[in-house]
Structure 1
C-alpha cells in the first residue's frame, strides 16, 4: 500500500455534500484533489463548499501549502482515479449504486491504492464484491461534516486486508483525523449505532408525551452532550464513580442505571409521530433555514475544536 507520507493526490468519487466536504479538508491538508460526480451541479457545489469552509479551515490550521483551487473535476470516475494515491468514495448509500462504481474504479487502479468508502452503514465485504483486488477496499466513514469532525471509522470487514486498514488509518491520522478501527463489520458501524440508540429513546420520550422535542434536545445539548464533547460514555462514568472510578460506578451506580434498561422504548414511527417530530424541530429551531443553522453549528464546532486543542 502507498505510505501515508507519499500520498499527494486524492480522488473524491461522489461529490455531494459529503464528498465536497472531504474535498475541502483534503485541500486544507495541502493535497491535490480530482473529484467526480454524475450531477452537472457537482462542480458548483464543490466550489461553494470549499469557499465557504476555507476561513474556518484556516483558523483550524491549514497547512502552509494548502491551496483551495488545487482541484479539478472529471465526470468519468475511471478517469478521475487515474494517478490517484488514495480514493475516497462518497456515492449514494445504496449497494446498487456503490458496487458497480467500485468495480469500475478498482479496475482502473493499481493494487496498492486504497479505496475507502464513506458509507455510513453498508458492509465492506459486500461493497467489494466483484472488484479488482477487493482486499484494498475498506470503509472510511467520516462524521458530518467531514471538514470539521475528526472521527473516521475504518472497517476492513471480512475481505479488507490488514495492510489496507493500516494504510487507511495512517493516512487519516497524517491529515489530522482521528481514525478508529472496528474489529468486526456490523450494519451502521459504531458511531451511527450509538447515535441511533440515543435517537430511538429520544423519539420514544416524545411519543410517550414525556417531554417536547425541544426539551429532549436540550436534555442532551445542555447536559451530557457537553461532557461527551470531551470524553465518551465509559470515561464519563469512570469519573462518575468518584475516586473509585469505573469499579466504584459498577458496584454502586450500575444497578440503578441498568434497572432502567427494560423500560427503554422501541417506538413505532408512524406518520402522525413523524409530523409531530418535524413540527417540534421547527418550533425548537425557531424555523430558521438549514444554511443558517448549519453555519452556526460549524462556527461553534470550530470554536469547540480550537478549545479542545488548547
Structure 2
C-alpha cells in the first residue's frame, strides 16, 4: 500500500490525555544500538500514515532510539510493523501501534505525517493534530508538493508556527536528503528544531528559502522526466537506454557531486564561469521540445517502460537499488572520514594545480 492509498479522514480522534501508551517513554530501552553514547536520545515521535514513506520514517526514528507511535486505519498495521522489526530487530521494542490519532500524538515531540497527497485531507488532518498534539510538538508533513502554508490554512498563527514540510526521498531510512520547507508563518525556531532532529538521525537536511510547488528534488526530477519522455515520444531513444545513459554518466557523477559543482569542475581553472563561457552557448542552442504528458501522449512511453521492466518493479530490483545506494553512501562516508586523498601520477587536477 502506498501513502497515496491511505485514508486518514473520518477516523476516531479522541482527546489526548492520560499516561502514554506502553513503551512511550522519552528513553529507548537500554542497549539500543542506535542510541550512541554521548548523544541525546530522541523523544517520542508519532508517525501518522503507514504507507511506504511512513513505515520507512518509523524505521529510521526507531533505529535512532526514539519510541515511535504509528497510526493508520489500515487493518494490517500490526503486521507491517512486525515486518519492520523482522528487517531491523533493534526497532522491535520501539514501534508502538496506536489505536487512534489522539493516542499516537499524546506526549510526542514530533509528528511526521505521511498521508495522502491531497491538500483537503492534509488541511483537516493538521487541524486535528493542532488540537490533540502537545503545544510544543513539531507538526511536520512528508508532502511531495503541497506547501506548509497550504497545510496550515485553517490553523492559528501559534499552531502554524510549528508546521513545516520535511520532504524525504524514498526510502527515508536510506536516502540522506530531507528538504525542510517552512511556510509563511513557520517560526525560525521550528526550523532549527527540525534541523537538529533530522541531523541527529543522520540525514542531510536542506532548508529552502522560499516555498515552491514540488520543492527542489521533485522539480529537478520532473524536468528530467519531461525531457526523457519527450525523447522517447520522438523516437530518439528507448526508456531502457535513457536509464542506461543516466545510470552510466549523470547518475554516477551526481552521486559524488551535484550539477553545479560538477560543471564547476568541468570548467577547469575558470570553474563554472569558464564552463558557461565555453559550453553555455552550445547548451543554450539545444532545442526544447515540450512532451505530451497527457494519458494518451504518455501511453506509448508507459508501454515501453513496462516492456523493459515488467508491469511493476520487482522486489529483487528494489533490493538491488537499495544495496547499490547503500554502497555509494558507505563509500562517501569512508572518504569523508578518511585523511585527505594524496594525488597520484594520474591525478590530472592535482598536476594542473602544481
Per the TM superposition, whether the score is higher than 0.5 is yes
Give 5+ residue unaligned stretches, structure 1.
Answer: 56-65
Number of matched residues? 294
Name the counterpart of 2:110: 86
> Judging changes above 3 Å, is the alpha-carbon distance between structure 1 residues 95 and 271 closer, same or farther for their aligned structure 2 residues?
closer
Q: What is the CA–CA distance in structure 1 between the aligned matches of 2:153 and 2:99, rounded to whole Å?
A: 24
2:303 paired with 1:274 = no
Name the counterpart of 1:62: none
Normalising by structure 1, we get a TM-score of 0.89
- SS of the equivalent of 1:189 reads coil
Name the counterpart of 2:194: 168
Q: What is the CA–CA distance in structure 2 between the aligned matches of 1:272 and 1:49, rounded to whole Å?
A: 39
* 2:315 paired residue among 285, 291, 306: 291
- SS of the equivalent of 1:154 reads strand
Name the counterpart of 2:28: none
Which stretches of structure 1, 4 residues or longer, exceed 6 Å deviation after superposition?
A: none
Compute the displacement of 1:131 (Å).
Answer: 2.8
Asked if structure 2 preserves the Cα contact closer than 8 Å seen for 1:18 and 1:90, the reply is yes
Normalising by structure 2, we get a TM-score of 0.79
Asked if structure 2 preserves the Cα contact closer than 8 Å seen for 1:16 and 1:42, the reply is no
Compute the displacement of 1:43 (Å).
Answer: 2.7
Give 5+ residue unaligned stretches, structure 2.
Answer: 1-38, 335-354
* 1:209 paired residue among 235, 259, 273: 235
Asked if structure 2 preserves the Cα contact closer than 8 Å seen for 1:35 and 1:71, the reply is yes
* 2:222 paired residue among 183, 187, 196: 196
* 1:255 paired residue among 257, 261, 281: 281
Largest Rg, 1 or 2: 2
2:124 paired with 1:104 = no
Compute the displacement of 1:284 (Å).
Answer: 2.7
Q: Which moved more, 1:144-153 or 1:264-273?
A: 264-273
> Judging changes above 3 Å, is the alpha-carbon distance between structure 1 residues 265 and 231 closer, same or farther for their aligned structure 2 residues?
same
Of structures 1 and 2, the one scoring higher in RCO (CA 8 A, sep 6+) is 1
1:244-295 deviations in whole A, cap 9, x for unaligned?
Answer: 21121122111111221xx222211344443322232233336775322211
2:102 paired with 1:67 = no
Name the counterpart of 2:69: 34
- SS of the equivalent of 2:46 reads strand
Q: What is the CA–CA distance in structure 1 between the aligned matches of 2:118 and 2:295, rounded to whole Å?
A: 24
Asked if structure 1 preserves the Cα contact closer than 8 Å seen for 2:146 and 2:213, the reply is yes
